[in-house]
Amino acid sequence: MPVTNQAAASPSLAANVNDIRDIKPPVQIASGWEWLWWALGAFVLGAVLFALWKWWRRKQTEVHAAPPIPAHVRAKQKLLEALALIAQPKPFVIAVSDIARGYLEERFEFHAPERTTEEFLYELQNTDRLTRDQKENLGEFLQSCDLVKFAKYEPREPELRDLHGAALRLVEETEPPEVQSPESRVRSPQPA
């Protein structure tokens, strides 16, 4: 029997031979984690939008804070208020002493309220922030206050006013020079 082409013999086989196609590319199979990345992205976007909204709201309702009151101005105001206690020597002297010590701590970074008078005066010897006269006046002031606070000395009103005046002089002598703008220097009256 002669060898015949089987493809010619069978029409369906011939159709299959001519119908050979290339291999299909791999199919991507979802790993199941895509939802996590989408959720994480949505969360980050939501957090950023929430932070922007909070910042915008705070900016809208922000009240501009008043500039801080300088130490010397606050000390003068407190000394003025302390005059209401002048009829009570001990509370008056405690208030005036505390105001002066607090002012010195805030203005010069001395640790006045935390130290005894002797410790504070010793520390004061090593500084050049106060003049010699100011140091002496401060020492006398603090020792006079200590007499009232700890030795039960009850001064009369003129002595109390002198203590008040000493504290006020200390504040006035040590307050920082005011920075004036050129316009304010022109407008300020000149002494005659």
Confidence band of 161 (pLDDT split at 50, 70, 90): very high
Residue 180 has pLDDT above 60, yes or no: no
pLDDT one-digit tens code per residue, 13-29: 555 666 778 888 888 87
pLDDT averaged over every residue in the chain: 81
Pair of tokens at residue 42: 């949505």
Q: Of residues 124 and 77, which shows the higher confidence score?
A: 77
Contacts of 127 (CB under 8 A, 6+ apart): 108, 110
Q: Give the residue extent of every domain in the chain.
A: 71-174
Contacts of 57 (CB under 8 A, 6+ apart): none
Confidence band of 80 (pLDDT split at 50, 70, 90): very high
Q: Sign of dihedral through CA atoms 120, 123, 128, 133?
A: positive
In 3-state terms the chain splits into helix, strand, coil percentages (rounded to 5) of 65, 0, 35
Residue 190 has pLDDT above 60, yes or no: no
Give Rg (Cα) of the chain: 44
